[in-house]
Structure 1
Amino acid sequence: MGTKLSLLLCVWCFLLLGCCWGRFVVEKNSLKVTTPKSLKGAYECAIGNFGVPKYGGTLIGSVIYPKVNQKGCTNFSDVDVSFQSKPGGFPTFLLVDRGDCYFTLKAWNAQNGGAAAIIVADDKAETLITMDTPEEGKDVNEDYVEKISIPSALISKTLGDRIKQALSEEEMVNINLDWREALPHPDDRVEYELWTNSNDQCGPKCDGLINFLKEFKGVAQLLEKKGFTQFTPHYITWFCPEAFILSKQCKSQCINNGRYCAPDPEQDFSRGYDGKDVVVQNLRQACFFKVANESGKPWKWWDYVTDFSIRCPMRENKYTEECSDQVIKSLGVDLLKIKDCVGDPHADVENPVLKAEQAAQIGKGSRGDVTILPTLVINDRQYRGKLSRPAVLKAICAGFQETTEPSMCLTPELETNECLENNGGCWKDKTSNITACRDTFRGRVCECPIVQNVKFFGDGYTHCEASGTLRCDFHNGGCWKGEQGGRAYSACLDDYRKGCTCPPGFRGDGVQSCEDIDECEEKSACQCPGCKCKNTWGSYECKCSSRLFYSRENDTCFGAYTSSAVSVWMIFLVFVVAVSGGYAFYKYRIQRYMDSEIRAIMAQYMPLDNQPEVSNQVHHNI
């Protein structure tokens, strides 16, 4: 038994080395220290392979290094410590040391303690690594891993020591975690691929993968049908070293004479299905996608893999070719083309599909080799984080060029609901429901809002102030406002940079109060000789003696009301007489002109008796 186990380990050591010799890329995001000045700058940090990185977004927080439980391996409630941020304050980033327990347990304890993110400081000087989940069966309680929802980051030992030193000197350390460039977003289409496996007996990881496929199917198909995404499934296989091709282990785990292998599902060669059964089913799934894609319906792959997991599970001994054929027929895909693609698993020849899959495992450019199952690759970058529908959809949405995201990226479904608790640590108006907290698919954003066309300005965390020409229409711009005797006054100005200023006739801070100025008592108005001053709320009244008229602009009296009235009436009378005379003269001239015209016309047709004859006049002249 010991010899067999040693041989088994040796074989799989060789099988796995084919991938381990490759280039694994540690996915990173930007970490910017904004304060103190001595630490200000940009640093690299590694994204953990758990939790929910805020792809496409940012998160600002204030760092806390606990005085006890500095490795975060026990629950912080046991030591009566809470990292919940207070209203108006920055979210808490918990800094812990590496070591003594799994990265996931540190993150889980930090999350339960109220931290918005966890930063793990490395315990030795080395290049950054990817913080991964515990290996299968290594943690007594693996259920919590899927419940981790905060982002995590691994920083270098040097940076960790510098942050601790600044905190020990009672300096505030503020950090901006930035994932906006963690995934490329060059255009309006996202290309992504999922390295998966048809094995359904590998414990929580397989269960999680199957559940993800079922939950994400509808979203994936909709995105693909509308042309927003281009999806490709992939499958990892290994080769058997030539020296072990004839061994029982390779024969049970490999097809095509040791060229393509997979681990035994139950890690037991004496029962259940073998690794070669998994390889064949993986190949059928890859061929199904190839045929469906050639027919213009690549999204049918999601129907096949989810239906197969339901109808053909290993635990019911239905993980067979016959069951697979039934599923394929029910989906209307050409079964003969799929069988031709699969070929003969027993033949000593290369399979074009699996050969291409092995070549695709090798990283090109910035992607790196694929060595972890499952692995999601978005725009040629390996995704890090929880494999769940909301988390993956947010990451895909972050892969679109801004303003080109499909509508499903902007729906409330993708909201993180972080604003429901403690208002997300953002600013909120005390007298209304106006808040700077906004849930988006990129995560919670503390951003001063626009309300009723009024734009608020500020940092979004500690304050927001209304501004613009309409600022006084909303909450009066936070300034004083009063009304009395039908008169209303406001200390709000359209120019928000001038703050709140009491209007003329008042004095005060413009925010809490503005008090009326008695212009009469202070001798600041109505000082002309013979004037009588009366104070009013916000203004004053001034009257002149001897029926004189008061000019506020000049603070003086002039003219008499009666003389002014007579002058007006005289002008009006002269105007009326002039108009009447002009009209009469106009009518007279028109009448004379019309009479002369009529007489001339009548003379041409009706000679008058008193006119001499024309002929006699001529005769006498001769």
Structure 2
Amino acid sequence: MGGRVWLFSLSVVFLWGSCLGRFVVEKNSLKVTSPDSLKNVYECAIGNFGVPQYGGTMVGVVAYPKANRKACKSFNEFDISYKSKPGGLPVFLLVDRGDCYFTTKAWNAQNAGAAAILVADDKLEPLITMDSPEEGGDDHVQNITIPSALISKAFGDNLKEALTNGEMVNVNLDWRESLPHPDERVEYEFWTNSNDECGPKCDNQIEFVKNFKGPAQILEQKGYTQFTPHYITWYCPEAFILSKQCKSQCINHGRYCAPDPEQDFSKGYDGKDVVVQNLRQVCVFKVANESGKPWLWWDYVSDFSIRCPMKENKYTKECAEEVIRSLGVDIRKVNDCVGDPEADKENPVLKAEQDAQIGKDSRGDVTILPTLVINNRQYRGKLDKAAVLKAICAGFKETTEPAVCLSEDVETNECLENNGGCWQDKAANITACKDTFRGRVCECPVVRGVQFVGDGYTRCEASGLGRCEINNGGCWKQTKNGITYTACVDGESNGCKCPPGFKGDGANTCEDVDECKEKSACQCPECKCRNTWGSYECGCSGDLLYMKEHDICISKKSSSRYSWSFLWVIFLGLAIAGVGGYILYKHRIRSYMDSEIRAIMAQYMPLDNQGETATHGPFANI
């Protein structure tokens, strides 16, 4: 009994610390589409059980029972069913708060065929989170699959009044903005505990880790997500640090505590064993993350729960280290990270965990175990593989979701029916319909590096270089007599234009132009025109020859005579020039030789015109 009282006192300390912080009620919207008097968008609080349709919407009609209005009993006792009829809208059952667990109400509504449950508050207060009961409170919690929402008393009263007056109330439950989805990567945290002796909640979170390990590791390895595990601890009041209870439940001199697994200090494992194992799991993640393999945390936690359970007295350091070694994680670094649990000083890892419990920005304080935080917003609902994967997928920006988010297990493909109402080219197997987690979008695609442009609904055209290689740019193209013509020009950014010799819109039709009928060719009087596909041919009758560059017909004979006469003139001119040149050459050579001979003779003999020379000297009179 003393142990239970001590646990209660520790809980009071922890809750007191939480009150200083902030608990955020996670919400979705509820839009009333009829009657007109209630048309509006209202807030409602997401229940912490069932499967909220994160990223999606549900349309239904509201029903308020005439009996069993608090839904604390099975509706089978009243022979009431809320299953929707073929072609009818799903039923959202409106019930009153009070007299039994929220989960009991949801379970009875689900068994009666309701698609969702709306619980009307019975007091005027801010919206609260409907939580599942503590251990043993309700055996059906894990089997609830319908979404639940708490609405305010005022709104609930208005719905009841409209239904009592015979009005049909249509509503749309919308979870599309319940989780932020800013970019192509989702960051999420899982606040958990290594204790496997805390009843159904512990069993459920261990089962979740085993089942979700595969998708979590795939998403992490491919860079779609960034995952971080966290663990809750609290401190022991300073006045009780030396007490037996504190020493058995805390490490580092009362700084980090966890409740006794069996809530009995005289047997089994103690709370401090849980704290140390929690710390070891955090350190395994940190060491694995430093080596570039953060996903090994999932292997370690699932393997530890199988190989080292408390029930078999294997919840020990030795067993944990065997698991760590089997995964190839550096055991020395893990032990250095864990440090000395007996030291009278802060442990930096556990101190960071305590600081992380405090809510920041849009995230409230973490006070419930287990808690999943997606894009800094706390997840509400059943801790189930499909439900959590659906919530994580709701955190991706539209069109960036990985393939696992669009699988049949998670989401239906709205492009399969009537192509989602988007543009498509069946011949080229090209479509503007893209299936996203929040529904389809009509967006012109990129095919083999070529961007299509248009509104995505009625038109998409290839644009830019290479566009003619993709379905000919959506333009007209035809081959005839071995000749191919196309209305697509690769250099143009987009659009289609019929080639010369054709007319039409270029996209669907290009018709041959008859240049002969349109008098656009062969205009000379003697010319004859023959139309061809995409062009024309001109000719002349008789012995006339067509000259295309002048668009005239000339006589072949005249042309021949004219040509030969012209050639004879050229030959005669060349002959005369040759003879003249030869005569000139001979004359110049002869003149040159005569001048040379005279020069030589002048050196050796007098010429006829040279006079005699007079004689003078002593022998003149002889």
TM-score between the two structures when normalised by the length of structure 2: 0.69
- Give deviations 1:267-310, integer Å, cap 9, x for gaps: 11111111010000000011111111122211111111111111
Pick from 262, 266, 274: which aligns with 1:270?
Answer: 266
Q: What code does the residue aligned with 1:386 have?
A: K
CA contact (8 A) 1:11 1:244 kept: no
CA contact (8 A) 2:233 2:257 kept: yes
- Give deviations 1:41-91, integer Å, cap 9, x for gaps: 111100000111111111111111111111111222232222122233322
Residue of structure 1 in register with 2:290 after alignment:
294
Residue of structure 2 in register with 1:130 after alignment:
129
**Alpha carbons of 1:599 and 1:189: their partners in 2 closer, same or farther (altered >3 Å)?**
closer
**Alpha carbons of 1:600 and 1:174: their partners in 2 closer, same or farther (altered >3 Å)?**
closer
- 3-state SS of the aligned residue for 1:412? coil
Q: What code does the residue aligned with 1:339 have?
A: N
Name structure 1 gaps, 5 residues minimum: 424-437, 451-466, 470-574, 607-622
**Alpha carbons of 1:8 and 1:218: their partners in 2 closer, same or farther (altered >3 Å)?**
closer
CA contact (8 A) 2:398 2:436 kept: no
CA contact (8 A) 1:183 1:381 kept: yes
Residue of structure 2 in register with 1:34 after alignment:
33
**Alpha carbons of 1:163 and 1:588: their partners in 2 closer, same or farther (altered >3 Å)?**
closer
- 3-state SS of the aligned residue for 1:68? coil
**Alpha carbons of 1:267 and 1:77: their partners in 2 closer, same or farther (altered >3 Å)?**
same
Residue of structure 2 in register with 1:387 after alignment:
383
CA contact (8 A) 1:93 1:116 kept: yes
Pick from 322, 338, 344: which aligns with 2:318?
Answer: 322
Pick from 279, 296, 307: which aligns with 1:283?
Answer: 279
Residue of structure 1 in register with 2:509 after alignment:
none
Q: What code does the residue aligned with 1:45 have?
A: C
Residue of structure 1 in register with 2:93 after alignment:
94
CA distance in 1, matches of 2:335, 2:570: 119
CA distance in 1, matches of 2:182, 2:318: 44
- Give deviations 1:518-574, integer Å, cap 9, x for gaps: xxxxxxxxxxxxxxxxxxxxxxxxxxxxxxxxxxxxxxxxxxxxxxxxxxxxxxxxx
Residue of structure 2 in register with 1:54 after alignment:
53
Correspondence list, 1:206-605, <5 A: 206-415=202-411, 583=542, 590-591=556-557, 594=560
Residue of structure 2 in register with 1:78 after alignment:
77
CA distance in 2, matches of 1:138, 1:183: 29
- Give deviations 1:368-409, integer Å, cap 9, x for gaps: 110000000001000001111111111111101111111111
CA distance in 2, matches of 1:581, 1:176: 80
CA contact (8 A) 1:15 1:240 kept: no
CA contact (8 A) 2:398 2:437 kept: no
Q: What code does the residue aligned with 2:30 have?
A: L
Residue of structure 1 in register with 2:154 after alignment:
158
CA distance in 2, matches of 1:273, 1:116: 44
Q: CA deviation at 1:581?
A: 12
CA distance in 1, matches of 2:378, 2:396: 16
CA distance in 2, matches of 1:291, 1:95: 50
CA distance in 2, matches of 1:88, 1:337: 62
* CA-based RMSD: 3.5
CA distance in 2, matches of 1:417, 1:202: 40
Residue of structure 2 in register with 1:505 after alignment:
none
- 3-state SS of the aligned residue for 1:49? coil
Q: What code does the residue aligned with 1:259 have?
A: R
CA distance in 1, matches of 2:571, 2:284: 113
Name structure 2 gaps, 5 residues minimum: 418-432, 444-456, 460-527, 529-538, 546-552, 573-622
- 3-state SS of the aligned residue for 1:30? strand
CA contact (8 A) 2:118 2:148 kept: yes
**Alpha carbons of 1:167 and 1:244: their partners in 2 closer, same or farther (altered >3 Å)?**
same
CA contact (8 A) 2:372 2:379 kept: yes
Q: What code does the residue aligned with 2:18 have?
A: C
Higher relative contact order (CA 8 A, sep 6+): 1
Which segment drifts farther, 93-102 or 288-297?
A: 288-297
- Give deviations 1:229-287, integer Å, cap 9, x for gaps: 11110000011111111111111111111111001111111111110100000000111
CA distance in 2, matches of 1:36, 1:10: 51
Correspondence list, 1:5-24, <5 A: 5-24=4-23
Q: What code does the residue aligned with 2:254 have?
A: G
Residue of structure 2 in register with 1:506 after alignment:
none
Residue of structure 2 in register with 1:499 after alignment:
none
CA distance in 2, matches of 1:386, 1:294: 32
CA distance in 2, matches of 1:241, 1:605: 128
CA distance in 1, matches of 2:131, 2:103: 8
CA distance in 2, matches of 1:604, 1:4: 132
CA contact (8 A) 2:54 2:391 kept: yes
- 3-state SS of the aligned residue for 1:413? coil
Q: CA deviation at 1:12?
A: 3.9
CA distance in 1, matches of 2:205, 2:310: 15
Q: CA deviation at 1:603?
A: 12
**Alpha carbons of 1:588 and 1:23: their partners in 2 closer, same or farther (altered >3 Å)?**
closer
- 3-state SS of the aligned residue for 1:115? coil
- 3-state SS of the aligned residue for 1:120? strand
Correspondence list, 1:146-185, <5 A: 146-185=142-181
**Alpha carbons of 1:330 and 1:368: their partners in 2 closer, same or farther (altered >3 Å)?**
same
Q: What code does the residue aligned with 1:243 have?
A: A
CA contact (8 A) 2:3 2:263 kept: no
**Alpha carbons of 1:219 and 1:33: their partners in 2 closer, same or farther (altered >3 Å)?**
same
CA distance in 2, matches of 1:362, 1:588: 101
Q: What code does the residue aligned with 1:396 have?
A: I
CA distance in 2, matches of 1:78, 1:416: 36
- 3-state SS of the aligned residue for 2:335? helix
**Alpha carbons of 1:255 and 1:168: their partners in 2 closer, same or farther (altered >3 Å)?**
same
CA contact (8 A) 1:118 1:151 kept: yes
Q: CA deviation at 1:346?
A: 1.1
**Alpha carbons of 1:70 and 1:345: their partners in 2 closer, same or farther (altered >3 Å)?**
same
**Alpha carbons of 1:331 and 1:65: their partners in 2 closer, same or farther (altered >3 Å)?**
same
Q: CA deviation at 1:34?
A: 1.4
- 3-state SS of the aligned residue for 2:37? coil
- Give deviations 1:172-225, integer Å, cap 9, x for gaps: 111111111110111111110000000011111111101110111111111111
**Alpha carbons of 1:166 and 1:296: their partners in 2 closer, same or farther (altered >3 Å)?**
same
**Alpha carbons of 1:355 and 1:170: their partners in 2 closer, same or farther (altered >3 Å)?**
same
**Alpha carbons of 1:441 and 1:317: their partners in 2 closer, same or farther (altered >3 Å)?**
farther
CA distance in 1, matches of 2:141, 2:36: 37
CA distance in 2, matches of 1:250, 1:96: 45
- 3-state SS of the aligned residue for 1:177? strand
- Give deviations 1:109-157, integer Å, cap 9, x for gaps: 1112121111000011111110011111223xx1x21121111100001
**Alpha carbons of 1:162 and 1:600: their partners in 2 closer, same or farther (altered >3 Å)?**
closer
- Give deviations 1:310-341, integer Å, cap 9, x for gaps: 11111111000000111111111111111111
Q: What code does the residue aligned with 1:370 have?
A: V
CA distance in 1, matches of 2:81, 2:384: 28
Residue of structure 2 in register with 1:617 after alignment:
none
Q: What code does the residue aligned with 1:43 have?
A: Y
Larger Rg: 1 or 2? 2
- 3-state SS of the aligned residue for 2:542? helix
- 3-state SS of the aligned residue for 1:109? helix
